[in-house]
Amino acid sequence: MTSRDGFHWTPQTGLAQGVPSIGVISPATNVSSRNESWDVVVVGAGYSGLTATRDLCVAGLKVLLVEARDRIGGRSWSSNIEGYPYEMGGTWVHWGQPHVWREISRYQMRTELEESFDFSRGVNHFQLRTQNGDTIMSHEDEDALLAGALEKFVNVDGDFGRKIVPYAHDSFHTAESRQYDEMSCKDRLQQINLSLTPNERAGLESFILLCSCGTLEATSFFEFLHWWALCGYTYRGCMDALISYKFKGGQSSFAIKFFQEALSTGNLSYVFSSPVKAITDNSDKVTLSTRGGKEYTAKRLVSTIPLNVLNSISFSPPLDPQRALATNIGHVNQCVKVHAEISNKDMRSWTGISYPFNKLMYAIGDGTTPAGNTHIVCFGGNNNHIQPEENVEETKKAVESLAPGNMDIKRLVFHNWSKDEFAKGAWFFSSPKFLSTSLDSLRARHGNVVFANSDWAVGWRSFIDGAIEEGTRAAMTVKEELRPIGPPRVRL
């Protein structure tokens, strides 16, 4: 099946919208009548929504899943093109992420992971391109450069951030930790500027922007410290957890397991390609209205709508002032992720930074296609924005500029998250002061509406793990209120 989402370009076909994915659901609905009754409506079929839906169905509750897209996965989905999975959004997972690893174990997919990096053959080097020229170095020297710069950046407490974020799976602990949410990453860079070499500065800035895909001025220093803490307070931990291990069959091969298990219970109804217009809480029930004019009613509603989209939905009663303010501010991430299939097989062991002059600033060799070509995955942010489907030639030049003379492009694949009306950006990353003022409000319930999304997870916020964490929390909240109370247990 082919999704409406995503774009694909080859010299032979030109640019085409829509890419195949096993995450596309057909038929688009199994609801035969609007008079059906449900215990819970779940809005959104990303990992938060899929987790909540599955847990509620397994608990015996009648669930209606409503999704705006034609597919599952939300901001984490994959396309399989000519036998190769291209990750269109969230990609990497790790056994140090407790919620995602529990689900990988549940679905017996522990052997379905593979490494993105392969330094066993080819050029086997890191290429740093800055306004001062090109530098080629070994991957060991790459690690030393970035680790040294990052340690200077995070070492605000003499212990590389451990005292500021001692418990990564919690929010704020001390007044001291909150003060770092007042700071931007640019503020912190100015504090350590004299201690950085030009190459350290370029590598550090590009790494920060790879995480936030915002601007240095708009990136919360505390949220960066939070990521650093989650990764064990080391650069190696960051690389392992953030960009090293992915599913052989793509993210959709994982997401479909949640949907299939929910469906197998007989308790799941679903409606895809149905964007939500309004959510009305009438104290004893919640009514969801779609843009197509349909209404669905249940006792509870779980909303997994992303932060940057929430202000496009009409809520009655209105959202509380702080949550409403947060939805209008949103998060800063406007990532551009472009996949390039190139003919140069030796580039499989290449990594590179091209900053700040290039519209794509960070890239790695990420796989080998069935045709024997190298898959390169490239990232850009809104500090130097590119709209790939609007100008393919500009996108090709940005890819080629990462490693001039080595990027003979055979294929481009991408999903423009900034232009996606159901995302309006990629993974969550906050601006200064946002978390300390709004995180608690975003996590609060709203009458019979429970909000669950990785954007306001406490642990791996903005990651697949955080999405599963939130879906689990929402399902447990609703289950405790709605599931039938059985006969008393007999004590033996």
| Numbered residues of the known binding site for FAD | 48, 67-68, 276
Cis peptide before 317 (omega within 30 of 0): yes
The annotation places the binding site for substrate at 379
Which residues participate in the annotated binding site? 48, 67-68, 276, 379
Exposure on the CB side of residue 142, measured as CA atoms within 13 A:
21
Residue 390 has a CB neighbour count (10 Å cut-off) of 11
The single residue listed with the structure tokens 């406007």 is: 334
Identify the CA nearest to 423 among candidates 41, 15, 76, 80: 76
Q: Which two tokens stand for residue 190?
A: 């100015």
d(CA 286, CA 449): 8
**Which residues are CB-contacts of 174 (< 8 A; sequence separation ≥ 6)?**
none
Enter the tokens of residue 430.
């906050």
Nearest to 389 by CA among 325, 338, 317: 338
C-alpha R_g of the chain: 23
- In 3D space, the residue among 247, 224, 127, 210 whose CA is nearest the CA of residue 378 turns out to be 210
CA distance linking residue 377 with residue 363, whole number of Å:
6
